[in-house]
Amino acid sequence: MIMRKYRWYYLLGMGLALIPLLTSCVAEFINPIPPPKNLKPDPALLGEWEIAEGDEKVRLYFYPRPSGWMDIIYVEMRSDHKIHLEVYEGYSTQINQDKFLCLVVRETDLIKKEEKKEPSGYHIIHYKISDEGAFSFRMFDVEKVKEMVRKGELKGTITSGRTLVTSKANEVVRQIQKKGAEAFIDTREDIKKSSFVRPKP
């Protein structure tokens, strides 16, 4: 993949502190966690989610495909009345009690085939839906993934612009089972302050 920038936003703190996550600070996986054999979207994810503060609002839409994959639309409505839109595709899966999303940016038809020199890797996202019905997520922390690559626990390459994990899918799963999901994510964030809820009618 060309050093193309794309984003997934975390909402940090009580306000909308939107921090763009560029490819250089997000770990990519050529072989993500495998989908289940009977692949179906997590029904608890489907539909519309929202987080808002003042005049700023972010909405996520999860749409199912017959294949079991999902299309995920991210819409950021800014206080200056401008809208930022991104579209992802991927699937939900599970290891023991931990739930994950494996997503890639959905390329548009406007991108010519000759412009795509390298394929995009998957982002792995650990998510939860609370008993109160709030949706929260954490992406795999790039620094923790880098350390695993340096120790030889995962195979991959680290450059100034990209952290790419090339381990086979079963090797990725084995490390998650061995270390637990928390070994891959940044647990310092108070995720309750950045949770999406269903929009009010």
Which structural domain range is residue 17 located in? 10-194
List the alpha helices (DSSP H) in the chain.
142-150, 169-179
pLDDT of residue 20: 36
Residue 2 lies in a domain: no
- Answer whether residue 93 is part of any domain: yes
Total tally of structural domains belonging to the chain:
1
Q: CA-CA distance, 63 to 47, in Å (whole number)? A: 7
Give Rg (Cα) of the chain.
17
Phi, psi of 132 (to 5 degrees): -85, -5
pLDDT above 90: residue 48: yes
Q: Given pLDDT bands bounded at 50, 70 and 90, which one contains residue 192?
A: low
- pLDDT category of residue 2 using cuts at 50, 70 and 90: very low
**Is 59 within 8 Å of 30 (Cβ atoms)?**
no
Q: Is the pTM of this model over 0.85?
A: no
In a domain, 30, yes or no: yes
How far is Cα 27 from Cα 142, in angstroms, rounded to an integer? 5
* Range list of H helices, 7-158: 142-150
pLDDT digits (tens, 9 = 90+) for 11-23: 333 223 333 333 4
CA distance 117 to 3: 10
Residue 20 located in a structural domain: yes
Q: What is the CATH number of the domain that holds 18?
A: 2.40.128
From CA 8, how far away is CA 130, in angstroms rounded? 21
Higher pLDDT, 56 or 28: 28
Examine residue 199 and state whether it is found in any structural domain, yes or no.
no
Angstrom CA distances, 11 to 56, 80, 184, 194, stand at 11, 18, 19, 5
Residue 1 lies in a domain: no
Residues 6+ apart with CB under 8 A from 41: 62, 64, 65, 68, 69, 70, 91, 92
**Is residue 5 in a domain?**
no
